[in-house]
Each structure stands twice: as C-alpha cells, then as structure tokens.
Amino acid sequence: MKTPRRQAREDALKILFQFDWDTELSIETALARFEVCFHQSEKPVSEFAQSLVRGVASKKAEIDASIRAISNHWRPERMTAVDRNVLRLGAYELLFRDDIPSTVTINEMVELARSYGTENSPAFINGVLDKLKTLNPRPDKAP
C-alpha cells in the first residue's frame, strides 16, 4: 500500500506530465482536469500534491536551469517527459522544501522513475539529484 505522501508525489508527477505535454494549460486547469478525469477516490487531490505542483510550476525556470547545469549532455528538453518531470519534482523538493529530507526526496524520485520511467531512469534520476544535493547544500533542511 502506498503512503499518502507517495501517492501525492505520484499524482503530482501525473499532473506535471499533463502540464508539460499541453503548454496551453494553466496549473489550475491541470489540477482540475486531473481531479475530474484521473483521481479515482472521492477525496480531492491532496494539499501536498497541489503544493508540489504549484511549487514546481512557479520555480520551473530555476529548476530547469539547475538541472541543465548538472546533467551532462542532457538538456531537460531532450530528456523523456517522465524523467524531466521526476527531476523537476525532485529538484523542487531539494532546493525549495526545507521540511523534506534530501534522502527521502531522492529515494521517492527513484521509486517514481522505477514505476514510470525507462530501465535506465532510476540510475539517471539518482545521479542527477544526488549531484544537485551535493552542489546545493541546505543547512536548514530536515535531517
């Protein structure tokens, strides 16, 4: 059984994928569309998932610049949509969320990559996010 936070990250990834695919879509429309079309339970998309989606969307340019700077020979535009959005989600948690430990973020993103990415995605995601964490130490981050 998935933990509520793992489910929220999975939902956030799906919403970000949709938002990435349809550039005309607003974040609010993407959240609403996901809620209506894909969220099977009676409960709304969790606040945690919504905060992740909104956070990634608001910091997308900064996040993509950080990913571009450390992912040798792989610009975000050239990555698979799943890998790109898992990295965006992970980078947002690493760079902008002090309440989530880095090890938790990296482990969760590797699991998302295992479920939704290619055979090579988990190692790629792990390597990029670990490098991002190393190059951007956050002393106020949760242990």
Token couple for 117:
């990415």
pLDDT at 43 over 70: no
For the stretch 61-120, pLDDT in tens is 999 999 999 987 777 777 889 999 999 999 999 999 999 999 999 999 999 999 999 999
In the chain the domains, ranked by start, together with CATH numbers, are 4-135 (1.10.940.10)
Phi and psi at residue 138, to the nearest 5°: -125, 90
Q: Alpha-carbon torsion 119, 19, 108, 11, what sign?
A: negative
Residue that wins the pLDDT comparison between 2 and 114:
114
pLDDT for res 93: 97
